[in-house]
Amino acid sequence: MLKLTDEQRQELRRWAQSRTLPAGDVFRARLILALGTGASYREVAKSLKTSGPTIARWKMRFEQDGMAGLEGRHHGSKPRSATPGAGAGDPASAAETGRRQHPLVLPKTGEPVGSQQVHGAADSGPGATETAPTGTVYGQQ
């Protein structure tokens, strides 16, 4: 059984009942509260639809850092490193920003995206073929 102080238990209950906190924070609060009541890993895993390793990870973080250990570690996305206005598929922009470019290849034909063919275009009648603009991907079959 995980030992919780009255203050921790109160804060965890507040998190667990919150409708404004991120879902991950609510999940972690419920997980720790369940462990604090003496629930087994199996019971917690079943009630929260999670796994033993996930339970162990959050229990360890809580034991090490208290409530701070339960806060999500990924807060939003990082700013993009590409230069504004540069195309994502533009080799020059990839070289300028130091990124490696990985070509997207169609699974059936092996053609790189940008030169793919669109078959049966809506306005061109059955069997018509037209080239899609670079960077555009229309429904793959």
Q: What is the rounded CA–CA span in Å between residue 76 and residue 67?
A: 20
Specify the pLDDT at position 116. Answer: 44
Give the tens place of pLDDT for each residue, 33-52.
Answer: 999 999 999 999 999 999 99
User: Are residues 25 and 70 in contact, defined by beta-carbon separation less than 8 angstroms?
Assistant: yes
What pLDDT band is residue 71 in, cutting at 50, 70 and 90? confident
Domain ranges of the chain: 6-70, 103-133
Q: What is the predicted pLDDT for the residue at 10?
A: 96
The predicted model scores a pTM of: 0.53
Q: Render pLDDT for 111-123 as a digit per residue (tens, 0 to 9).
A: 666 544 545 445 5
Q: What is the DSSP letter of 69?
A: G
